[in-house]
Amino acid sequence: MAVIVYAESDNGIYKKSSFEAITYGKDLANQLGSTCIAVSIGNKGTQNLGLYGADKELNISGDLFSTFNPQAYAKALSEVVSAESGETVIISQTYNGKSIAPLLAVKQDAALVTGIVDMVDTTAGFSVKKTCFSSKAIGHINVNHPKRVLTLIPNSYKITEGGKDISYETVSTSVSASDINTTIVSTDKVTGKIPLTEAELVVSAGRGLKGPENWNMIEELADVLGAATACSKPVSDIGWRPHSEHVGQTGITIKPNLYIAAGISGAIQHLAGVGSSKVICVINTDPEAPFFKAADYGIVGDVFDVLPKLIKRAKEIKGA
């Protein structure tokens, strides 16, 4: 019996969320007295997954896996899970992970729990904690099935390094072109920026910025801090910022170490995507803005006054 972890990569680089999932898989395997097997698909990353706790890495290779396809990836992963007697599968809850997990659970006839945020409690059965109601509550779920697929929210489990170097083995599967019922025609990638889902620091702004011409302040602060930029939904709906920056219930869920929110009211739909950030700093002219209730640091002030001062101070500190 093994804990299988899907190791997601992008252009030959494993995602940080994959290292979290592997550390999680290793810790779970230790509790269950089993092994942790990392499975990469297609163009695998170059980093050594043994350092994060994998006992073994398998790479599913083949031309069909050169671009992400949920059906093909789920079928291939399912075959490896069966071949390796996988009991629990850990998948990071990324866009790709979210689309593979339910397909895999159906193929494996396994229990599926999405959005887990903490280590499994095996003291009396198999109990997991997951976020519910747009992250406003935590649910405790008992899994009463010997096979489980769990998706882990990125940034909810601490990566530990210090494992051993391992080599990888290539495996093939029976996946064929007939298993793929959609084809990616082209992809337009945002380049040269820190991906929001991977960012440790995020500078975000809302309608309080008044117009897209004022985003230079947000980009400058983000540049100085080495942060990614984000925005509220109306801002991307109006077209001030690209939709790829929209965070919240209907956008991207993030959990950075620091989230700076400038001119954002803090509606529950926005908080659903950012409320689990480790430290939240809010800048708003309205002392009654709901965001202050979720903030660790609050500045009641005008963004046009506060942001230039923050940028100046951040530059001084970085310069020093």
Ligand X SMILES: Cc1cc2nc3c(=O)[nH]c(=O)nc-3n(C[C@H](O)[C@H](O)[C@H](O)COP(=O)(O)OP(=O)(O)OC[C@H]3O[C@@H](n4cnc5c(N)ncnc54)[C@H](O)[C@@H]3O)c2cc1C
| Residue ranges in contact with ligand X by CB under 6 A | 206-208, 232-235, 248-251, 263-265, 267, 269-270, 273, 283-286, 289, 302-304
Q: Which is nearer to ligand X, 68 or 292 (CB)?
A: 292
> What is the phi-psi region of residue 115: left when phi exceeds 0, alpha when psi lies from -120 to 50, beta otherwise?
left
Q: Which is nearer to ligand X, 59 or 232 (CB)?
A: 232
Q: Which is nearer to ligand X, 141 or 267 (CB)?
A: 267
Q: Output the smallest distance, CB 98 to ligand X, in A.
A: 16
CB atoms within 10 A of CB 122: 11
Write the CA distances from 276 to 134, 224, 257, 261, 284, integer angstroms: 11, 24, 9, 13, 20
Q: Output the smallest distance, CB 91 to ligand X, in A.
A: 23
Q: Which is nearer to ligand X, 47 or 134 (CB)?
A: 134
Q: Output the smallest distance, CB 45 to ligand X, in A.
A: 30
Q: Output the smallest distance, CB 288 to ligand X, in A.
A: 9
DSSP secondary structure, 209-276, as one string: G-SGGGHHHHHHHHHHHT-EEEE-HHHHHHTSS-GGGBBSTTSB----SEEEEES----HHHHHHHTT
Q: Output the smallest distance, CB 238 to ligand X, in A.
A: 10
Q: Which is nearer to ligand X, 9 or 284 (CB)?
A: 284
Alpha-carbon span 197 to 15, nearest angstrom = 10
